[in-house]
A and B are shown apart, each in its own frame.
Chain A
C-alpha cells in the first residue's frame, strides 16, 4: 500500500500511487553514508546533462541527499547490500525514489522547531516536493516529486 504525505502542493487525499516507471534511471549503491554523495552526483550529472536550471539541481540534491541519508541511517540494506536510487522526468515533475530493504510502520514529515536538533530530513523533502509518498510492499520506497518548471 502506498501512503501519501501532504506536500507543499496540498495533494493529500489523492489515491494516485507514486509509481516509478520502468524507464526511470536507476542505480544500486552500497548501503553506507558515502552513498549520499554518490547518489547526489548520479542525479546532478543526469540533470545537468539535460540543461536543468541550477535551483532545480540544488533542490534535487536536497531531496536525494535527505532520502538516501534517511535510508542508510534508519533503514536496512537490500539482500545485495545496497540501497536503490532512481529518478525519472514526468510531464509535470521530476520524480525521485529511494528504496532500502527495511520496513517502517509509518513515516512522518513534520518540521521540528527551529531549536530542535534533529528530525528535519523528510520535512525538508516535503517542503520542496509537491507530492511524496512511501511504499512498504518490498522494502521501504520513498518517492518524491519536485515540480518541473
Chain B
C-alpha cells in the first residue's frame, strides 16, 4: 500500500475542509496548519483519509477546543471509512453524512 501524501481542499463557501491521504508523523504539522488556516466554523471531512493515528486525534481535539473558546467545528467521516472507525472508537462525536 503506497501511503498517499496528506492533502486538503478548503471550500470557504460551504465551510468544508476535506482531507485525503495519510495523517502520519510526517504530515501532522501540515494537518495542524491546514486546520488553523481554514478558520471557523468548519466541517472537517475525513472520509478520504487513509490513516488517522492517535496523534492526529490529538490535533483534532485541540482544533475543536480552539484558542480562547471552542471552535464550532463538525467532524465528518463516511460509513465504512477508517476515519469513521477511529472517531467512533475514540468517542469523538461526528457526522457520517
A114:B89 contact, CB within 8 angstroms: no
Q: Is A138 interfacial (CB-CB < 8 Å)?
A: no
Given the known inter-chain contacts A61-B51, A62-B53, A69-B55, please indicate yes or no for A114 contacting B62, CB distance below 8 A: no
Q: Please pick, from B54, B86, B93, the residue contacting A118 in the complex, using a CB distance under 8 A.
A: B54
Specify the chain B residue showing the minimal Cβ separation from A65.
Answer: B53
- Contacts across chains A and B counted by CB atoms under 8 Å: 72
What is the number of residues of chain B that contact chain A, defined by CB distance less than 8 Å? Answer: 24
Interface of chain A: mostly helix, strand, loop or mixed: helix
B86:A117 contact, CB within 8 angstroms: no
B25:A37 contact, CB within 8 angstroms: yes
B residues bordering A, Cβ < 8 Å? 1, 3, 24-26, 50-51, 53-55, 57-58, 61-62, 64-65, 82, 85-86, 89-93
A residues bordering B, Cβ < 8 Å? 33-34, 36-37, 40-41, 44-45, 48, 55, 57-59, 61-62, 65-66, 69, 111, 113-118, 120-121, 123-124, 127-128
